[in-house]
């Protein structure tokens, strides 16, 4: 059996997913990366040597292709469910949130991560792997305009917690990276200057702390991990 650690990263073409992929590749990990935008994903593939599958994790046909690639591996040490949908921009109040757009957010932020975990679970169990689902403080705080996205992340937190209870041999985390200077965060604040937010690369060390130290399954924030480190 190969000793090389393997990770599946969704939403890997930009932002936090891209930053994590680059660092894990430097560590010698074998990566499977996916994202909706093919050209930026190809750039990450060239930089990391990863297996890249462009597509939408909310699409069952794309997930079937991911499952076929996973079946070719003899282990899966990490699943990073990073792909997320924000919803309409500017962010509307719940009274004005189009229900179709909300359903799309739930498909991407809740249903798709669970579907990925279902197809990845046998490989994760084979090497007592790690799952990291990307959460948000909007899952636990009430911010005007963030109701749809926040509700999806609250649902993902609960899903993650129950999945951990049902798979005690694995390490399963909700990880809140905090505000970052990403395209999605910019979309949440159109026309505003978000240059004061930290670059995604600065948050990766907190994620690596989860991967390296494997604390008990649960919800962790980058801020608390950085303080603990």
How confident is the model at residue 199, as a pLDDT? 84
Dig out the tokens for 172 from the structure: 């399963």
Give, in order, the Cα–Cα distances in Å from 85 to each of 72, 82, 216: 29, 10, 28
Q: Could you list the pLDDT tens digit for every one of the 229 residues in the chain?
A: 347 999 999 999 999 999 999 999 999 999 999 999 999 999 999 999 999 999 999 999 999 999 999 999 889 999 999 999 999 999 999 999 999 999 999 999 999 999 999 999 999 999 999 999 999 999 999 999 999 999 999 999 999 999 999 999 999 999 999 875 556 655 556 666 657 767 888 999 999 999 999 999 999 999 999 766 5
How confident is the model at residue 1, as a pLDDT? 37
How confident is the model at residue 94, as a pLDDT? 98
d(CA 40, CA 13): 5
How confident is the model at residue 186, as a pLDDT? 57
Torsion of CA 56, 37, 53, 1, to 10 degrees: -100
By annotation, the residues acting in catalysis are: 149
How confident is the model at residue 189, as a pLDDT? 61
Bridge partners, residue 31, by sequence = 7
CA 209 distance to own-chain centroid = 16
Domains of the chain, first to last:
6-228 (3.40.50.720)
Nearest CA to 10 among 89, 109, 121?
Answer: 109
pLDDT digits (tens, 9 = 90+) for 103-138: 999 999 999 999 999 999 999 999 999 999 999 999
Torsion of CA 147, 150, 154, 155, to 10 degrees: 70
How confident is the model at residue 178, as a pLDDT? 82
Sheet containing strand 78-81, edge to edge, reads: 51-54, 30-35, 6-10, 78-81, 130-134, 171-176, 218-221
């Amino acid at each position: 059996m190969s000793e090389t650690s393997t990770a599946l990263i969704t939403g890997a073409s930009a932002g936090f997913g891209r930053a994590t992929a680059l660092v894990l590749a430097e560590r010698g990990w074998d990566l499977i990366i996916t994202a909706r935008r093919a050209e930026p994903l190809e750039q990450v593939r060239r930089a990391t040597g990863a297996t890249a599958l462009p597509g939408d994790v909310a699409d069952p046909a794309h997930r079937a292709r991911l499952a076929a690639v996973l079946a070719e591996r003899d282990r899966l040490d990490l699943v990073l469910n990073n792909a997320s949908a924000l919803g309409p921009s500017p962010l509307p109040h719940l009274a004005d949130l189009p229900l179709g757009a909300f359903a799309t957010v739930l498909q991407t932020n809740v249903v798709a991560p669970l579907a990925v975990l279902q197809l990845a679970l046998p490989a994760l169990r084979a090497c007592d792997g790690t799952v990291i689902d990307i959460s948000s403080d909007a899952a636990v705080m009430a911010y005007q305009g963030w109701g749809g996205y926040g509700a999806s992340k609250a649902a993902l937190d609960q899903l993650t917690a129950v999945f951990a209870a049902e798979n005690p041999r694995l390490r399963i985390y909700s990880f809140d990276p905090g505000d970052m200077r990403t395209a999605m965060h910019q979309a949440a604040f159109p026309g505003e200057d978000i240059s004061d937010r930290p670059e995604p690369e600065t948050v990766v060390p907190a994620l690596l702390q989860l991967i390296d130290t494997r604390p008990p399954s649960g919800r962790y924030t980058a801020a608390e991990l950085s303080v603990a480190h």
